[in-house]
Amino acid sequence: MLISVATRKGGVGKTSIGIGLAVCAAVIDNKSVLLVDADAQQSALYWDRLRSCEKPVTIALPSPRLHEALTTLSQPYDVTIIDCGGGDTGIMRSAILACGKNIVRPEGGIVVVPAKPSQIDIWGLGDTIDIVNAARSITAIEGRILLNQICRGTKTVQSALDAIGELDMPLLQSRLHDRVAHKVAIEHGQGVVETDPKSKAATEMIALWNELKNIHQTMVAEVSA
């Protein structure tokens, strides 16, 4: 299974999502997991240095030839998750291309595009979706929008949903709220499912992980048919 967390916009929680999913796969499902830090800031790598657990394996690979390197590097692992940096870079384009069918895995991977729930943020997704569509001229790629950092008590979600309806990419049912638990977990080198397994933050992250697994199962079934 391969997931790229990617968008041109910075500050939307890509690293927290990538780490959260990697820990879900490694700790809850006991999968072998490779977390690829493709961000020049190397935030996931710094998180890994705080971590006492050996899982997931975390490496830095901010390369515009990332999709080529992963054909070998990802093979020993059940799950590979790529944390991309912001901006339209060759690295991000490579991470998106890695999710194409028969590029790294026969069934391909899933590009998760996080966005804050505001019309301005949703409108800004157009450039990222254009990059995904450009890669689709080479190979089929699954992409999903994820609403992240939702603030409780606001009415912006419906406006965001209306704006997403105009975009050429489906929306994940799972949503992540803006919760302090994510920041606390990262500061301790953990995922939210480890620091407080019964918290709302952990419940939301597990739901996201399960939804992505279901999508992946469908992708595998289509290749096997």
* Model pLDDT, residue 161: 81
DSSP the chain: -EEEE--SSSSS-HHHHHHHHHHIIIIIS---EEEEEESTT-HHHHHHHH--S--SEEEE---TTHHHHHHHHTTT-SEEEEEE-SSS-HHHHHHHHTTSBTTTBTT--EEEEEE-SSHHHHHTTHHHHHHHHHHTTTS--EEEEEEEEEPTT-SHHHHHHHHHTTSSS-EEEEEEE--HHHHHHHHTT--HHHH-TTSHHHHHHHHHHHHHHHHHHHHHHHHH-
Confidence at residue 44, expressed as pLDDT on a 0 to 100 scale: 95
What confidence score (pLDDT) does residue 157 get? 79
* Sheet (strand 110-115) strand order: 57-60, 33-38, 79-84, 2-5, 110-115, 142-150, 171-177
Task: Tell me which of 58-62, 116-120, 159-163, 170-174 is least confident.
Answer: 159-163
Task: Please compute the mean of the pLDDT values over residues 47-65 and round it to a whole number.
Answer: 94
* pLDDT for residue 202: 97
Residue 159 has pLDDT above 80, yes or no: no
pLDDT over 70, % of the chain: 99
Q: Are 102 and 127 in contact (CB under 8 A)?
A: no
The pTM of the full predicted model, rounded to 2 decimals, is 0.94
Q: What are phi and psi of 174, to 5 degrees?
A: -70, 145
The confidence score (pLDDT) of residue 83 equals 96
Which of 49-63, 79-93, 158-172 has the least mean pLDDT? 158-172
pLDDT at position 60: 95
DSSP-derived 3-state class of residue 67: helix
36: helix, coil or strand? Answer: strand
Arithmetic mean of pLDDT over the chain: 93
d(CA 74, CA 1): 9
Q: Residue 91: pLDDT above 70?
A: yes
Identify the pLDDT of residue 151. Answer: 81
User: Which runs of E-coded beta strand occur in 21-138?
Assistant: 33-38, 57-60, 79-84, 110-115
- Model confidence at 89: pLDDT above 90: no
Q: What is the mean pLDDT of residues 180-196?
A: 94
Provide the pLDDT for residue 124: 83
For position 154, what pLDDT does the model report?
64
